[in-house]
Amino acid sequence: MIRVTFISADGQTRQQVDAPAGAVLLDVAQAAGQPLEGTCEGQMACSTCHVIVDADDFAKLTRASEDEEDMLDLAAAATRTSRLACQITLDEALEDITVRMPGEFYNMQGM
């Protein structure tokens, strides 16, 4: 099992869930009730599954494809450690991962 921690856009709320290896982060987030629309269901055509990954965890993930990078360029409030949740498959080697919901609060607080 991989421990996934979701942090709300304003940084105030944390939610922890355990997910099996091989699960897609977007599915785990939606099952946990996190506000990720994932409109295109993993087709890399919407960027509504954008999350901001903890810097240490980001380094452990397989690199984003060029298509994913292109979508992230269009995502609102994207950062250096932004990823599309539909492109992240949880891997046993991760052990745990922390991601934050993007949002205007994030920018307003300058965090």
Query: Which residues of the chain form contacts with ligand FES (CB under 6 A)?
Result: 26, 38-49, 71, 84, 86
Residue 38 or 102: the one with the smaller Cβ distance to ligand FES is 38
How far apart, in whole angstroms, are the C-alpha atoms of residue 68 and residue 9? Answer: 21
How far apart, in whole angstroms, are the C-alpha atoms of residue 31 and residue 2? Answer: 15
Residue 47 or 82: the one with the smaller Cβ distance to ligand FES is 47
Residue 45 or 111: the one with the smaller Cβ distance to ligand FES is 45
Q: Which helix (H) or strand (E) holds 17?
A: strand 14-19
Closest contact distance (angstroms) between CB of 109 and ligand FES is 25
Closest contact distance (angstroms) between CB of 110 and ligand FES is 27
Q: What is the DSSP letter of 59?
A: H
The residue whose Cβ lies closest to ligand FES is: 86
Residue 67 or 95: the one with the smaller Cβ distance to ligand FES is 67
How far apart, in whole angstroms, are the C-alpha atoms of residue 4 and residue 94? Answer: 10
How far apart, in whole angstroms, are the C-alpha atoms of residue 66 and residue 76? Answer: 18
